[in-house]
Amino acid sequence: MFDANQPPPAGTGGLKPAGRHARGAGGCTGHVYPPHLWEHRRLGATSSATPVVTRFAPSPTGFLHIGGARTALFNWLYARHHGGKFLLRIEDTDRARSTQPAIDAILDGMRWLGLDWDGDAVFQFARADRHAAVARQLLDAGHAYRCYATPEELTALREEQRAAGKPIRYDGRWRDRAPEDAPAGAPFVVRLKAPKDGSVTISDQVQGDVTVANAEIDDFVLLRSDGTPTYMLAVVVDDHDMGVTHVIRGDDHLNNAFRQIALIRAMDAVEGGWPDPVYAHVPLIHGADGAKLSKRHGALGVEAYRDDLGVLPEALNNYLLRLGWGHGDEEIIDRDRAIDIFGLGGVGRSPSRFDTKKLLHLNGHYIREADDARLTDLVAARMTGPVDRDLLHRAMPVLKVRAADLNELAANAAFLFRQRPLAMDDGATTLLTPEARATLARLHAALDALAAWDTEAIEAAVREVAEAAGLKLGAAAQPLRAALTGSRTSPGIFDVLVLLGRDESLGRIRDQMADPAA
């Protein structure tokens, strides 16, 4: 709490809520989704109503975390639902850890998800002068003060409080000191003179009414000894200047909200026009084991779900939407539907468990619904070696019904472009017994005699060979599949024959008619 260079601790560990009651009334460049729903809402909004303004404010110290992506999605949907604005702020004040690659990753991830923002992104570090000016206003008005406590003094205070079992917080030793008591030329920080009497109640749209006694709120630092603004000051000033009306974020920030309200109300007393925003603190995402989501649970960044797992943006959006939010028993919710029905009243209070299997199941649905030309582009980019894009596009209707992700879709398509003679996997090798190779010879003769190479003629020929040999259709189709694809699994065998064409199909069958070990 005494480190002015770091954000305050997460959760409510630093404050003691006096009470929590029923929730308050509840109120997506890249793969771009049509904005017609939120546009007509915006145009139809009454001029007397305060427009909804939400924001997403990531720190560019790494990838776009999956939890951050959900926060951005909830903010985006809430703004679009109400015909308002969704703003983006890059909180880059940690200059040692903020990097351009991280900024690029965040912007790229949001564009891929279709979470377009209104106006230009705001970069927090560039507004440091404005933040400092607000601190000086508070100083001049008596709502803040200079604190000359040394790091050694604060360390000793912490140790005393810890030994006595007391809360660790600044004791206000410079709060009411006379200016003449200040040591000449000594460094100082600027602290907010937080209220000490009464309490603050936040009518959180997710958590309900949460009350904290003002005595629990310490006089936190606004300006460091080098004159740079702290996280708490910068966030409050930026939210005000950007016109943010609704702060929707993880519940690890609930503790921060009470300090932020103290700062907001101090500025409102100084100049007016600083209303409290509406808060909605959303429970965090946990892993399948119930622990807070971390690297040991697997992929964390949005780009990993796109690049490594082969997930479509609409699938990830749908999954994140349903991760902690619900609307009846609806599971498949597209973008337009989500804009239409989203509200904070549907957000639950319990942490959600991220389940990759459920995500991929949902992804399979969106792959089956996706445009074949789009899938062709996505799959071709994942394949090695030459790819006949026309053939891949023609094959897509039968390939996509069996895939849960783009990697699986690419693997399913690989047989189309393999060079003869095909290498057989272990499963295919076990199918190619001497009897099966004899069946392949009969199938080759029957198929070679066909006048028309279409599904109906091919199926009739294969069935005729199977019946003549006293075999079920599957017993004839399995070695045929192995010869054509090198695997035990594939799309429907008649579709495979049509896609490969007469010459390639007959050549692959011929390659496997003779036992290579003989």
pLDDT tens digits for range 141-183 = 999 999 999 999 999 999 999 999 999 999 999 999 998 899 9
Residue at 169: amino acid letter = R
Residue 10 — φ and ψ, nearest 5°? Answer: -80, 165
Which alpha helices (H) appear in 100-230, and where do they start and end? 100-113, 128-140, 151-163
In CATH, what is the architecture of 419-513? Orthogonal Bundle (1.10)
Cα 489 to Cα 15, 240, 375, 447, 500: the distances in Å are 59, 59, 21, 21, 16
**Which strands sit side by side in the sheet containing 208-213, from one edge to the other?**
17-20, 208-213, 199-204
The predicted pLDDT at position 514 comes to: 86
What is the length of the chain?
A: 518
Catalytic residues: 295
Of 77, 87, 72, the C-alpha closest to 35 is 77
Parts of the chain with a pLDDT under 70: 1-48, 295-296, 298-299, 516-518
Question: Do residues 285 and 293 make contact, with C-beta atoms less than 8 angstroms apart?
Answer: yes
- Residue 303 and residue 301: Cα distance in Å, rounded? 5
Return the axis-axis angle of helices 473-485 and 455-468, rounded to nearest 10°.
120
- Residue 283 and residue 71: Cα distance in Å, rounded? 10
The predicted pLDDT at position 289 comes to: 85
In Å, the largest CA–CA distance within the chain is 110
Residue at 281: amino acid letter = H
Residue with tokens 């994140």: 320
Question: Do residues 83 and 45 make contact, with C-beta atoms less than 8 angstroms apart?
Answer: yes
**Secondary-structure breakdown of the chain: helix, strand, coil percentages, each rounded to the nearest 5:** 50, 10, 40
Contacts of 37-43 with CB under 8 Å at 24 or more apart are 37/80, 37/336, 37/339, 37/340, 38/79, 38/80, 38/81, 38/83, 38/339, 39/83, 40/83, 41/80, 41/81, 41/82, 41/83, 42/83, 42/84, 43/83
DSSP 3-state of 427: helix
Angle ∠(444,445,450) on CA atoms, nearest 5: 95
The predicted pLDDT at position 241 comes to: 99
- Residue 76 and residue 58: Cα distance in Å, rounded? 14
- Token duo for residue 181: 């008591």
The predicted pLDDT at position 10 comes to: 39
Q: What is the pTM of this model?
A: 0.88
Residues 6+ apart with CB under 8 A from 311: 305, 359, 360, 363, 405, 406
Q: Looking at the domain that runs over 29-115+283-369, which CATH code has it been given?
A: 3.40.50.620
Q: Where are the domains of the chain?
A: 29-115+283-369, 377-417, 419-513
Burial of 30 from C-beta contacts in 10 A (0-12 / 13-18 / 19+): middle
- Residue 142 and residue 82: Cα distance in Å, rounded? 39
The predicted pLDDT at position 17 comes to: 55
The predicted pLDDT at position 291 comes to: 86
Of 200, 324, 185, the C-alpha closest to 256 is 200
Of 237, 153, 159, 152, the C-alpha closest to 192 is 237
- Residue 285 and residue 56: Cα distance in Å, rounded? 17
Residues 6+ apart with CB under 8 A from 156: none
The predicted pLDDT at position 272 comes to: 98
Dihedral of CA atoms 43, 75, 346, 309 in degrees, nearest 10, equals: 120
Question: Do residues 69 and 304 make contact, with C-beta atoms less than 8 angstroms apart?
Answer: no
- Token duo for residue 312: 């479509």
DSSP 3-state of 325: strand
Question: Do residues 23 and 251 make contact, with C-beta atoms less than 8 angstroms apart?
Answer: no
Report the number of secondary-structure helices (H) and strands (E) in the chain: 20, 13
Residues 6+ apart with CB under 8 A from 35: 80, 116
